[in-house]
Amino acid sequence: MTKGGGLMLPYKMSKDIFYNYIKDAENISTISKGAYGITFLLELPDDINTSNDNLFYKKMVPDEEYGEPVKQIIIKFQYILKNDNDANTKDNNIPIQPVKSIDIQNEVNIQTDIFFKTFKYLQPLCPSIVYAEIIDDINQKTEFARLFKNKTTENRVKFLFNQDIIDDYNLGIIAMEMVHNSTTLLIASVTSNSKLFIFFALFSIIIDCSLI
């Protein structure tokens, strides 16, 4: 990351805010895809009415944008096995492979730990998580899929929420702030000085989180 950031959560429940973001989204588009997850960028309209503070996440970046409503968030989506005891075998009929619920829980816990331990330097090494959920109720999965599909024009995204698939798997969601002027390790890995960049990022995480 070339610039850190954080989000202030208003008193209202984060879940309500997250679903309002989906309902109000101008567009949801894919920004990266891996074997076990897809990451989306959700963008609110530029002219959206932000007068109600309880409907928005707020930036905590210590600059001129401090306290401003956040109009972009990142959403990581995964399929979750219904039972962690199930064998995690490859399923060629789905676009991404499923993970266990403990995997997404560990990811949220580790990222949250890294964020808060490095936030004291005003340069967090990862985005702050604003909301995370594993949806296991079939009605809620169907409703989430409906809302999400209505906000994108990408056919491959719509295929993610094929009813046959969401009947077989739970849905994992991790929503994060969009850190501007930043890059991903994937992009960094093919740019100049990438090895030094990645080494520094990983070393900083290890030191700040007392992993050694």
User: How many structural domains does the chain have?
Assistant: 2
- Across 37-51, 92-106, 131-145, 192-206, least confident range: 192-206
Residues 64, 147 within the same domain: yes
Residue length, the chain? 212
Q: Please give the pLDDT value at position 20.
A: 93
pLDDT value of residue 91: 81
CATH number at residue 29: 3.30.200.20
Q: What is the pLDDT of residues 94-118, one digit of tens each?
A: 889 999 999 998 888 888 887 777 7
Residue pointed to by tokens 């503070």: 53
Q: Are residues 109 and 73 in the same domain?
A: yes
Indicate whether 206 and 176 sit together in one domain: no
175 burial via Cβ count (<10 Å: 0-12, 13-18, 19+) = buried
Give residue 58's domain range: 7-181
Q: Are residues 35 and 122 in the same domain?
A: yes
Question: Is 120 a residue whose pLDDT tops 70?
Answer: no
19 lies in the same domain as 50: yes
Mean pLDDT over each residue of the chain, to the nearest integer = 78
What 8-11 contacts at long range (C-beta under 8 Å, 24+ apart), as own/partner pairs, is 8/57, 8/58, 8/59, 8/60, 8/67, 9/57, 9/58, 9/130, 10/53, 10/54, 10/56, 10/57, 10/58, 11/54
Q: Do 110 and 209 fall into the same domain?
A: no
Same domain, 147 and 191: no
Would 1 be classed as within a structural domain? no
Asked if residues 165 and 94 have their Cβ atoms less than 8 Å apart, the reply is yes
* 2 assigned to some structural domain: no
The answer to whether the predicted template modeling score (pTM) of the entire model surpasses 0.85 is no
Terminal Cα distance for the chain, rounded = 22
**What's residue 141's pLDDT?**
94
- Residue 12 identity (one-letter amino acid): K
